[in-house]
Structure 1
């Protein structure tokens, strides 16, 4: 490797001094010999000058992320106009699920190069998690503005539309706003956002799950209102939402809220324009009240965008994307006709129940029994073969996920570190880890809301200092081993099934109580979330598609109410259609959320 240019050695540099040179050498474990000092000082000054020269250039935003021309639905004009938004009043946000509200649809201007890609979502209301960039709207990531690079009290406004936002709008969707997300998306529960806790739509005071907490709560509210024939508590709540998932952040909230939530195959849906945790585990996907809307949304979102390095040679080009909604409809018609004829013409679906998933730490027997009964009763009603299958490595799946990602996650999630391969990051999110994330104010604020964020910071430092890179490299080889273990099971079964979460939604913690049961507030919050992602995180590491399907009810752990139970269906990588078809078989066999029972006496 050579330097692009050399600085003038006769010009002194106030930043790269001789003292700086020797300090850098000391921190790297060696001393620079006096005769080599001039050479290394020249190299350092030249490198720093090149970096600052490029940093001084005007920023570049790829035109593929330019903001789609839109109009505000309450405007009389039909031409494109700046997007309007607002923070809802608490009275209009009873679940605390909305972050910012808007109401925009795409418009086609005569001189514009933009054109609708389809009308698949025409008139359909959609919301996106606050990690997803929406041009003209603030982005908060569930934290304070100073922790994401703002120099004042205002949150940064996005100059781009994420790829998924562009595709939604160009398919005719009516974008209604952004939804509350957990503090830096580092919680599977819904108590950690700077905006306050998000409530479960079925029972106030209980978790909606995280980190796509607001997205799940709003869609779940529509599900609850339809089931009870009530007016939704939150007017304008959508039937479709977009969430992010690095360890279960779509599927756990979907399970808690009694809705459908899909983590697509890794690399099927572009993540460009979405704040991530680590490229290896970043997924974005839909949550909805129906399986048909999941399939429809996947048709709109899937396919290569030319910008996301998470997408590889297996990722389909846009023109090769399966019309998931059409294929699911054709399958439904064929399966219904076959069932009516009483003459099976196709091989029965083979369903493998992952044995180890029913005994992970924290498993509630009522939750596990609900999933088992639902699988046997409703898949069985359609003639499916249902068998237990042991995948011993599943018991270590979440641990493998942890070891493979935790020594870099903090830098990527909130430290401003770019992926190690070329990617288009969020130009308006500019945290300076030197100033904000290694400070007492950061610790004080974040510990009060989400101690997992502070823990992630210290864990990254700990693992970096105490373990060699070889330890993480070995953990990632075990990810490949874990993928192979699931693939081996999927060679004998069409899909694998597990409980999505080990238990139903727990109550929200009292965030004002600083000491309870002998635990500090930080320990109490860490304990509440522990183990809840053990059935979901493994598939973020391996990349398999995983869908949470509502399958019944179980008593809350305090036995005060009945809450939804989610069943996770996992398929072969890039066979997301197979997962959708299996869920439809479950539905045709009578499976679903069902009527809410009375709470236990």
Structure 2
């Protein structure tokens, strides 16, 4: 495409920005050096980029019609089939619209990505098609996935099928509603602060944020690489286990994944959910209850549901993890400064990691940032302003300190998990929030981020965490969250399966 040579004024501006105090004669010398180094860039530019091969043919599909999309869950309808036989044969599967599906438009809930058509399938998409699953839709998500509500999404909000006067939760709002309303059997969601578990809780389905790195993030739009997770959402524990079995495992392209992780299948999750449960011990985390924004009926229903496990031979005890109350504060600099670096300064890709970089995202999103940043949602505008200020004024100190403290937070959970097989608390402190089409500035942000108290800490530490629907209060679902040790999703699924059996 040809690389632009910087002008003397370009270098002068950079010199001023970084306080280099270079004179024009010095800048001319650097300009000659830059010109020489750009020859490598030119040679690099002449090489074709590496993009994973698209295995299966597909047609473009279409936007949904109103009659099939009453809650706004769908953003694009399609029918993509892979192999004829496999573990997912006969399953209809939706994909969150921050995940790349080749040839299918992708918005990531934002005007910023209008016109973007991916040229590759995310690893999770390829694995679903390899196992005979049918991809039937891309689902609406919150604008650039930076909200736990369902009111910021473009082109439309997502409403709760249990009561359309309420939000569905986010950012994987459409995936949750597509499952809850029966449009599909299962869906892929993403989670950086609770975005699988929050909507699963608010619409009353199962949703699992796996261990950090268990499911490859390759081909999904990153918010912050140390927080990024993809995972399954479904109406039953068996379907969660089945989809996890298909999508989990190393792909060799995602540095979030440990080298020791096997390729699929990591474990036969579906066969493990019916195993022996006697002798299992769970800890009810005291600090996960009674937040300032907690609803009493949510706390009570979660606590009562957890105690019923004792009737099935599971030992239930209260455990105190004081640092849990600081988990959201530890997440905040990572989420804000990390997202500023990755999404804004790094054009959706960032730096400093190995693996596959989705350069197509950087080209379109980076150019959109230059031409129409006004279209960014207020959530991301707020992140940008605070994140850049903190990076500029405090030299990355608070991001680094939060990452250091995350080691202590992980150890606090691990210490409890050495005594207990799993930890339990409410997924969100409250039931679904009411949808407001024209919220005030303050209401907008409460609707976006006012529910991540219990979910965000486990994105920081990477522990697997799953929402389990345990009942209704005032007509709205209540979710209980099960947290486990690294790569012990099978234990979480086994306990979740017991809750599901208790409901029948």
Q: Same fold (TM over 0.5)?
A: yes
Question: Which of 322, 336, 339 is the aligned partner of 2:267?
Answer: 322
Paired with 2:398 and 2:164, the residues of 1 have a C-alpha distance of 44
> Contact 1:184 / 1:413 at 8 angstroms: preserved in 2?
no
Paired with 2:101 and 2:118, the residues of 1 have a C-alpha distance of 6
Residue 236 of structure 2 is aligned to residue 290 of structure 1 = yes
Paired with 2:5 and 2:56, the residues of 1 have a C-alpha distance of 45
3-state SS of 1:579 partner: helix
**Correspondence for 2:201:** 255
Question: Which of 99, 110, 115 is the aligned partner of 1:132?
Answer: 99
Paired with 2:349 and 2:56, the residues of 1 have a C-alpha distance of 31
Deviation of 1:474 (Å): 1.5
Paired with 2:68 and 2:130, the residues of 1 have a C-alpha distance of 29
> Contact 1:190 / 1:210 at 8 angstroms: preserved in 2?
yes
3-state SS of 1:102 partner: strand
Paired with 1:43 and 1:359, the residues of 2 have a C-alpha distance of 61
**Correspondence for 2:298:** 367
Residue 31 of structure 2 is aligned to residue 41 of structure 1 = yes
Superposition pairs of residues 41-60 of structure 1, within 5 angstroms = 41-60=31-50
**Correspondence for 1:3:** none
Deviation of 1:469 (Å): 2.2
Residue 357 of structure 2 is aligned to residue 425 of structure 1 = yes
Paired with 1:420 and 1:431, the residues of 2 have a C-alpha distance of 18
Paired with 1:197 and 1:550, the residues of 2 have a C-alpha distance of 23
> Contact 1:418 / 1:425 at 8 angstroms: preserved in 2?
no
Q: Deviation per CA, 1:181-220: give whole Å up to 9, x if none.
A: 1100011011111111111111112111101000000111
3-state SS of 2:231 partner: strand
Paired with 2:366 and 2:98, the residues of 1 have a C-alpha distance of 23
Q: Deviation per CA, 1:420-475: give whole Å up to 9, x if none.
A: 21232334323567754366x533x44xxx42111111122111122122332121
Question: Structure 1 residues 432, 175: CA separation in 2 closer, same or farther (over 3 Å shift)?
Answer: closer
Paired with 2:484 and 2:352, the residues of 1 have a C-alpha distance of 29
Residue 35 of structure 2 is aligned to residue 89 of structure 1 = no
> Contact 1:551 / 1:565 at 8 angstroms: preserved in 2?
yes
Residue 21 of structure 2 is aligned to residue 31 of structure 1 = yes
Q: TM-score, normalising length from structure 2? A: 0.94
Residue 178 of structure 2 is aligned to residue 265 of structure 1 = no
Question: Which of 322, 327, 343 is the aligned partner of 1:392?
Answer: 322
3-state SS of 1:496 partner: strand
**Correspondence for 2:428:** 501
Question: Which of 87, 90, 105 is the aligned partner of 1:120?
Answer: 87
> Contact 1:66 / 1:159 at 8 angstroms: preserved in 2?
no
> Contact 2:202 / 2:432 at 8 angstroms: preserved in 1?
yes
**Correspondence for 2:139:** 179
Paired with 2:338 and 2:41, the residues of 1 have a C-alpha distance of 23
Residue 118 of structure 2 is aligned to residue 158 of structure 1 = yes
**Correspondence for 1:510:** 437
3-state SS of 1:276 partner: coil
**Correspondence for 1:69:** 56
**Correspondence for 2:392:** 465
3-state SS of 1:387 partner: strand
Q: How many residues align?
A: 500
Question: Structure 1 residues 94, 119: CA separation in 2 closer, same or farther (over 3 Å shift)?
Answer: same
Superposition pairs of residues 206-245 of structure 1, within 5 angstroms = 206-222=166-182, 237-245=183-191
3-state SS of 2:443 partner: helix
RMSD of equivalent CA atoms = 2.2
Deviation of 1:139 (Å): 0.6
**Correspondence for 1:578:** 491
Q: Which structure is higher in helix share?
A: 2
Q: TM-score, normalising length from structure 1? A: 0.79
> Contact 1:268 / 1:316 at 8 angstroms: preserved in 2?
no
Q: Deviation per CA, 1:308-335: give whole Å up to 9, x if none.
A: 111013423336x111111224x1xx55
Paired with 2:174 and 2:399, the residues of 1 have a C-alpha distance of 33
Paired with 1:487 and 1:503, the residues of 2 have a C-alpha distance of 26
Deviation of 1:33 (Å): 5.8
Paired with 2:366 and 2:231, the residues of 1 have a C-alpha distance of 33
Question: Structure 1 residues 47, 359: CA separation in 2 closer, same or farther (over 3 Å shift)?
Answer: farther
Paired with 1:243 and 1:468, the residues of 2 have a C-alpha distance of 34
User: What 5-or-longer segments of structure 1 have no aligned partner?
Assistant: 1-12, 71-81, 108-115, 149-153, 223-236, 336-345, 514-520, 556-561, 595-601
Q: Deviation per CA, 1:538-589: give whole Å up to 9, x if none.
A: 000100000100011123xxxxxx100000000001111111112223334x
Question: Structure 1 residues 436, 119: CA separation in 2 closer, same or farther (over 3 Å shift)?
Answer: closer
| Bigger CA radius of gyration | 1
> Contact 2:222 / 2:228 at 8 angstroms: preserved in 1?
yes
3-state SS of 2:369 partner: coil
3-state SS of 2:459 partner: helix
